[in-house]
Structure 1
Amino acid sequence: MTAFRGAHVLITGAASGLGRLMALDAVQRGARVTLLDRDAKGLGLVCDEIQALKGDAEGFVVDLSSREAIQATCAEVLQSRGPVGILINNAGIVSGKPLLECSDEAIERTFQVNTLALFWMVRAFLPAMMAAGGGHVVTVASAAGLAGTSRLVDYSASKFAAVGFDESLRMELKRLGSPVRTTVVCPFFIDTGMFEGVKTRFAWLLPILKPDYVVRRVMGAIASNRARLILPRFVWTVPVVRALPPFLFDAVLSFFGVNRSMDEFVGRH
């Protein structure tokens, strides 16, 4: 089991959405939290909420698309807050545009935040975890990292990479005999505003997930050292469907409306 009480938990993308809710939940479980986000105002509001609960929280403003900024901020966190026991890589961005309408800069930023930031964050905090003989690295990926769809080419590719990052890291830690644990989270669309406007054809099979529910499941998965959390359960059929020939795989995703789910996407303003 991974204990939150007394642990130092660091969460990226913590100024809103899942990150904010996970920070509040971690504090209620007895953790002290360090919060990273580019939104200074949002970070301040979350820290105020936590301090109102008599919790220990500090926010650091950082652009997660910049390797140099991440490295400088992580060094500051280690110096002022100490080693991290639970690292939750939650930050993510989405353009929601067809590939040919995405700018070069937008595509690069998607990979910088959704994928490369995972490397810089883990490289910063994993050594201390290994030296301490324990720790937990959490990667919030996406169901789009298990099955691709239109208008999510850059996002889906970055999340496929995030899933591969977690899997390879898990195997590497096992090969090294390290007790550090990993958890990857692959949820369907979540009602946080990030995917405002998305639609689902069969809500009883593929519902737009509620943030409180997702956070409860994620924190439970971390506490129980669960290696993989996929939400909802229907998404577990993706590996089975993937065994079909591509034309049948595509037909199944189209039938369930997945390939049209982004048609009315507007995103967070």
Structure 2
Amino acid sequence: MSLVNMLAFIIGLPFVLIKLALYILFGIIRSFVPMSIWRKKSVEGDICLITGAGSGIGRQIAINFAEQGADLVLWDVDSAGNKETAQLVRKFGVNVWTYTCDVSNRQKVYTLAQRVKDEAGTVTILVNNAGIVSGSYFLDLSDEKIMKTMGVNTMAHFWTLRAFLPDMIKNNQGHVVTVSSLVGEGGIGGMSDYSASKCAVKGLHESILRELHMYKSNVKCTVVCPYTVNTGMFNGISVKYQFLLPFITPEYVGEKVVQAVLTDTDTLYLPPYIFIAVFLMHSLPTNVQLAIENLLNANEAMKSFVGKR
């Protein structure tokens, strides 16, 4: 290291440490203040594209964005469900466009993305929410199930981001929401493909957030890591001591996701105290983690999985 670089480092270090301390202090204070009373930005007139909008979390996110006055572009492979969501949100007086789309199909995504730009305008909020669960243990997984899970849960994020993120960067405005999962922080038995897909999108999200920071872009990012949501995707799983961690509702998730966008929250754990489980995942020795999972019957839970038919 040259003398000039060393002096620059010594001079700049106190400013970096002060800035870091202020960020930590602000983060601690913010964690104790309910999100509902944080200062919020307006999304009225924004164009929000939501994948998997035909039911569950996607539908509730659409309803909450419509309440805030955002126009909506709804994508789902389920045309009927997508139309039902459109009917529910039109009562708020917003513009709505619906498209039937298998988001794992790269060319279909690119083609529909151009139609959206021509028919609706520039997307300013992208919510990558579409997801599927195969519900099989690794040795029971077929190649087709693995490819489909990764196609919908992971690769689709690449295709939609490549389609819509460049316009956000160009206009220096926008927000990307990545719906990951608690198991996006680490694996669990019976969810090898699902866990892998959600870990992958969380990594993708964090990389893009840092690239946007490098560009000094005003485009914001939010990653959502919920515990099990009772949308039907996980029907049949048997969780021991479920009173400790009851399933959360899609209505709750939809409300909190939109609040996170309005407050530019970068990471959202639902429910918030699930962060304790994340901390334990990353700090405890593996044998201790396994002992806790045995106590909760966590790795056996998917044996009774039925799923959404």
Shared topology, TM-score over 0.5?
Answer: yes
**Is 2:190 the partner of 1:151?**
yes
Segments of 5+ residues of structure 1 without an aligned counterpart are none
| Whole-angstrom CA distance in 2 between matches of 1:67 and 1:166 | 19
CA distance 1:147–1:258, change in 2 (3 Å): farther
Contact 2:60/2:251 (8 A) holds in 1: yes
- The one-letter code matched in structure 2 to 1:177 is K
Contact 1:205/1:234 (8 A) holds in 2: no
Contact 1:93/1:110 (8 A) holds in 2: yes
Aligned-pair identity in percent equals: 39
- The aligned counterpart of 1:242 is 282
**Which residue among 216, 228, 231 is the counterpart of 2:255?**
216
Superposed CA offset, 1:189-231 (max 9, x none): 1011111122333334322111111111111111111000112
**Is 2:294 the partner of 1:254?**
yes
- The aligned counterpart of 2:304 is 264
How many residue pairs match? The answer is 269
| Whole-angstrom CA distance in 1 between matches of 2:295 and 2:223 | 27
Alignment of structure 1 residues 87-126 onto 2, 5 Å: 87-126=126-165
4+ runs deviating over 4 angstroms? none
Segments of 5+ residues of structure 2 without an aligned counterpart are 1-39
The Cα of 1:265 is off from its aligned counterpart by 1.4
Higher helix proportion (structure 1 or 2)? 2
- The one-letter code matched in structure 2 to 1:38 is V
- The one-letter code matched in structure 2 to 1:236 is F
Structure 1 window deviating more from structure 2 (202-211 vs 167-176): it is: 202-211
- The one-letter code matched in structure 2 to 1:201 is K
Structure 1 window deviating more from structure 2 (242-251 vs 199-208): it is: 199-208
Contact 1:115/1:161 (8 A) holds in 2: yes
- TM-score, normalised by the number of residues in structure 2: 0.83
- The aligned counterpart of 1:86 is 125
The Cα of 1:240 is off from its aligned counterpart by 3.4
Larger Rg: 2
| Whole-angstrom CA distance in 2 between matches of 1:78 and 1:242 | 42
- The one-letter code matched in structure 1 to 2:174 is G
Contact 2:69/2:92 (8 A) holds in 1: no
| Whole-angstrom CA distance in 2 between matches of 1:4 and 1:28 | 10
Alignment of structure 1 residues 183-198 onto 2, 5 Å: 183-198=222-237
